Amino acid sequence: AQTVTQSQPEMSVQEAETVTLSCTYDTSESDYYLFWYKQPPSRQMILVIRQEAYKQQNATENRFSVNFQKAAKSFSLKISDSQLGDAAMYFCAYTSGTYKYIFGTGTRLKVLA
């Protein structure tokens, strides 16, 4: 069965610094899709970044980028120039293209002023 593991329950970063959130997954599929979602205190789940497994290039969205290591089944999120508004829960998610989206347990990110 596919699984998604986020081993860091909580992380802290100083404002303007860079932080990396870890995510590993397990699958026997060769084609799949990975996501990072942000959940601020308002509770809404907001897409941060999406990666297609068949693409070698790591996805980027402004200050957010991923390090996708397919062989290692690792999908980490790097946040550069951290801002106070980045403070939130971050969830890693996986789907092979079916209706089943597997979510990790989340990492709470604190941004220190």
111: enclosing H helix or E strand: strand 107-112
Phi-psi group of 71: left, alpha or beta (phi > 0 → left; psi -120 to 50 → alpha; rest → beta): alpha
102 near 2, Cβ under 8 Å? yes
Nearer to other proteins (CB atom), residue 13 or residue 34: 34
Nearer to other proteins, 12 or 105 (CB): 105
Q: Which is nearer to other proteins, 106 or 111 (CB)?
A: 106
Binding site for other proteins (CB under 8 A): 32-33, 35, 37, 42-47, 50, 52, 91, 93, 95-101, 103, 105-106
